[in-house]
Chains A and B, each alone.
Chain A
Amino acid sequence: MSEQPIHRRYVMIFAVACLAILLPVVVLNYLLGLRSLGGVAVVLEASRWQQETRGITYAPPLSANRPFKSARLFDRLPEINAVVFGSSTAMSITQEMFPPGVSIYNFSQTGNVLATVVGEVEFLLQSQPALKWFVVPFDWALGSPYWPGESRPQDLAPPQPDSPGEDAVPISQRLSDALSLPRVKNLAAILGGVARASSPYQAFGEMFMHNAGEPYRCSDGTPARDFDTIFRSTCTGFRYDGSATFANHEPLSPQRTQVLIASAVVPSSKYATALIKSGGDPNQRLLEQLAVGARVMRERGGALVLLLPPLLPGLDRALHEAPDTSAALARTRQVLAQWAVAARVVVIDAGASERFGCAANEFVDEHHALPACYARVFSRLQDYWSHPAAFAPGLWPGKQ
């Protein structure tokens, strides 16, 4: 054989082997992705199922939950008088943390920045006069309260069956997603499950052609149903009150704490960067808009509460002591304290979560606390909801 045919054969085998692996993966994951990357039909079906069963579910993708949360919020509006806003940081806040008489929906969404949250607050202020309580997280650790600019006007109307959904995700992104390792691992697990099923053909059809798996029950008896093709049978998703189960995350081990804190306080970390760049001065315009919201809620007999979310025990103190972030963080608290007094708002300062007795294993990372930690924070606020005037405006619980 001359050189060229040998090399030609080599290239062909190489190409065929690559295609034999990549093509089925792309096609099958693309099929799964048609639903797992979103779509109004799935959102509405998942929302309808949760309204009927009060079970745990979410509409894919897990990382973009605005349509699902909007649909759920509008279903829940007739029976609630409190809304929790914010990003995934606040997703652990549950109904159990509030006394009878305060009925919440946790409207927090992945990656929601303060400018958007203020837009959501304004929308609900204008359109929902029955709401009395707003809990607004102030995610200073993630930087968005320092971003300049105006609030972003929001329309929280639930998605309609004819509104665009799937088309919003470009095909290049769908293909990249189809080739990513988490999707490949998930596909391998799905195909393994299909192979082990009593009726593999039917199992394949259910997984690749249908919108959702069969309903099942979580360990506490709550019903659950998976509309996504990942995290199946793990009770991952949102509860009826809008809070997240974080069932797809592991709690932190105490050994990790020091490592994470050390990484978080270096000037290049995401926690330090925003503080350093902004000097710790929050966006005044957003604070003014929140002050207006607080006044309206007070007039309704309720309140707008600002929440500095709990951070991994020791992290707040470390940022307070680090030379690069110390002054900026102190500045943030100083500005918030002054604003709170002027706007007559209670700011729950849960940043130093160790003050509330939170432990490292009540977090999944540096800033995502699990319900156990939030329960410790809110347990000390039980009287607030019946006698908000008894709490002096300003940072609460103040210095200890």
Chain B
Amino acid sequence: MLFNSNAFIFVFLPLTLAGFFLLARISTQLAAAWLTAASLFFYGWWNPAYLGLLVASIVCNFYFGAGIGRAVAVHAQPRAKGWLIAAISANLLLLAYFKYANFFLGSFNHLTGGGLSLGEIILPLGISFFTFTQIAFLADVYAGKVREYNFIHYGLFVTYFPHLIAGPVLHHAEMMPQFRRAETYRFSYENVAVGLTIFAIGLFKKIMLADPMGGYARPVFDAAASGVPLGALEAWGGALAYTFQLYFDFSGYSDMAIGLSRLFGVTLPLNFHSPYRAVNIIEFWRRWHMTLSRFLRDYLYVPLGGNRKGPARRYLNLLITMVLGGLWHGAGWTFVLWGALHGAYLAINHGWQLLCLRLGQDPQASSVVGRACSILLTFVAVVVAWVVFRAPDLDAAVLMLKAMAGVNGLVLPDFWLPKWGIFGAWLAAHGVVFGETRDLVTGGLINWIWVLLLVVWFAPNTQQFMSACRPALMLPADTTEGRLKWTPRPIYALIAAAMLTLAIFNLHQQSEFLYFQF
């Protein structure tokens, strides 16, 4: 079931909410069980056949976790380690079969000319998310950080429908205490007001911003995929359209998840914090898909050695972490290359900071102009990497990047020349070509781009706007900055209602969230 569907908004959500708070009057365990059952229904709506897989994964991991916990409690570390290795291997094998088997077989066949095949394997929705969530749980049980083994709460933690399909990637330590707390099960108008507002903002971002951008990005990437030589304007138009589509799609989904969860009295961790405002790549990854970054840091980068084994090893660890992070997003070489690109970016960024420190400079100190240039440079680097991420294959990515670099020249649509008046004439006199174009970049897209650039660079994000009501966990210190703050005033209720209804009227063009495929 999609958050952006009438069935979800008008039927599933009200019924689940009503059932939850009514049952909570009888028993909090009953309410938690109801929410788990509703979450399983939510998942099964997509494909009931995979419900069994999800349930089996939960049951097995819970009992693996309990086994590890018992071994840890009696200090039987070898036994605990054996359980842990078996459990993580089982999870990774499951993920490898569904997500990567055909990719690796395809690559093997490509190299050897073989014809091995497992047939078409349908990727179960959200498998990457629920597998990673549970691997983190197992690792923490082994580390002795888990105290609670309540099956209903564990089932709810994994299946909890606001995060089940596309995150945020939750940590049991931040969820279990909330499921245990009696306050969670008490109806609160504050939670409903905050939750509905954040949900309305998220739905608006998805339907009114991300989806139109997708309509502009798709034909450009399709053209590149079919070998059409693109001009620089077309390639940049498509790349920027996708840059905004992905951000508003995924951050919109995360907002919806946070808002929905808040309706049930549960606060989820923050997942996006204006990532395109980052001054460097290190900061970008502290602002983009923050819960995945946290997972990769805690359960991959740190166990690999992190920065504890010298600069060279640190850069290698970064590269390994990001390549695997890329592979997590999808079984394809474009994702691997995207991860490697970001790994290289991070290594360069860390190397630069080290160099600055050795030269006695403060890498964080910057003038306003310097800061603006840093943001722009980081943004361009991210856009370039998104091209690789979005392109259907490496050839198309190279074609796009070449076009963005100006290899095929820059041609502006000839109908812009009279519109731009003296400025257009000046440009034409100075070598800019105005000619017939393919309708890939329209005036509409140009307007979208500059408006959305202003939004991502200067407008407060959802959490900053809602900061007065503690909208999410993991809030950075600067979340409280800015003047525009939500308060429960009627004007904000009317604006939120208008955003929600506008989005609802556009639900007929219902599209899936991009991160569902990951």
Residues of A whose CB lies within 8 Å of any CB of B are: 3-4, 6-11, 13-14, 17-18, 21-22, 25, 172, 175-177, 179-182, 184, 253, 255-256, 258-259, 261-263, 265-269, 318, 322
Query: B508 in the interface, Cβ–Cβ < 8 Å?
Result: yes
CB-CB under 8 A from B7, the residues of chain A are: 172
Query: Quick one: closest A residue to B200, CB to CB?
Result: A14
Please pick, from A6, A9, A176, A269, the residue contacting B6 in the complex, using a CB distance under 8 A: A176
> Closest CB-CB distance, A143 to chain B, in whole Å?
17
> Which are the 7 A-B pairs with shortest beta-carbon distances?
A17-B497, A180-B508, A262-B223, A7-B189, A10-B488, A13-B493, A255-B439
Query: Quick one: closest A residue to B11, CB to CB?
Result: A172
Query: Quick one: closest B residue to A265, CB to CB?
Result: B226
CB-CB under 8 A from A11, the residues of chain B are: 189, 192-193, 196, 493
Does A14 lie within 8 Å of B225, measured CB to CB? no
Majority secondary structure of chain B interface residues (helix, strand, loop or mixed): helix
A318 and B226 alpha carbons, distance in the complex (Å): 10
A265 and B438 alpha carbons, distance in the complex (Å): 16
A18 and B494 alpha carbons, distance in the complex (Å): 8
> Closest CB-CB distance, A173 to chain B, in whole Å?
10
A258 and B231 alpha carbons, distance in the complex (Å): 13
Q: Would A262 and B228 be within 8 Å (CB), given that A18-B501, A179-B6 are in contact?
A: yes
A4 and B192 alpha carbons, distance in the complex (Å): 11
Query: B360 in the interface, Cβ–Cβ < 8 Å?
Result: no
> Closest CB-CB distance, A36 to chain B, in whole Å?
15
Does B501 lie within 8 Å of A22, measured CB to CB? yes
A25 and B505 alpha carbons, distance in the complex (Å): 10
Does A21 lie within 8 Å of B189, measured CB to CB? no
Interface string of B336-359 (1 = CB under 8 A from A): 000000000000000000000000
A277 and B197 alpha carbons, distance in the complex (Å): 45
A334 and B251 alpha carbons, distance in the complex (Å): 50
Instruction: Give 8 A-B contacts (CB < 8 Å), ordered by A residue.
Output: A3-B190, A17-B494, A179-B6, A255-B437, A255-B439, A262-B226, A262-B228, A265-B226
A372 and B197 alpha carbons, distance in the complex (Å): 52
Query: Quick one: closest B residue to A175, CB to CB?
Result: B6
Does B196 lie within 8 Å of A181, measured CB to CB? no
CB-CB under 8 A from A255, the residues of chain B are: 436-439
A293 and B196 alpha carbons, distance in the complex (Å): 61
> Closest CB-CB distance, A33 to chain B, in whole Å?
13
Interface string of B191-224 (1 = CB under 8 A from A): 0110011000000000000000000001100110
Does B505 lie within 8 Å of A181, measured CB to CB? yes
Please pick, from A4, A176, A180, the residue contacting B190 in the complex, using a CB distance under 8 A: A4
A9 and B494 alpha carbons, distance in the complex (Å): 12
Does B497 lie within 8 Å of A21, measured CB to CB? yes
Does B392 lie within 8 Å of A268, measured CB to CB? yes
Q: Would A14 and B196 be within 8 Å (CB), given that A179-B505, A259-B223, A262-B222 are in contact?
A: yes
Query: Quick one: closest B residue to A256, CB to CB?
Result: B439
Please pick, from A7, A14, A259, the residue contacting B219 in the complex, using a CB distance under 8 A: A259
> Closest CB-CB distance, B403 to chain A, in whole Å?
13
Query: B440 in the interface, Cβ–Cβ < 8 Å?
Result: yes
Does A7 lie within 8 Å of B192, measured CB to CB? yes
CB-CB under 8 A from A256, the residues of chain B are: 439
CB-CB under 8 A from A259, the residues of chain B are: 219, 223, 438-440
User: In chain B between 393 and 437, which residues have their CB closer than 8 angstroms to a CB of chain A?
Assistant: 436-437
CB-CB under 8 A from B488, the residues of chain A are: 6-7, 9-10
Q: Would A7 and B508 be within 8 Å (CB), given that A13-B493, A255-B436, A266-B226 are in contact?
A: no
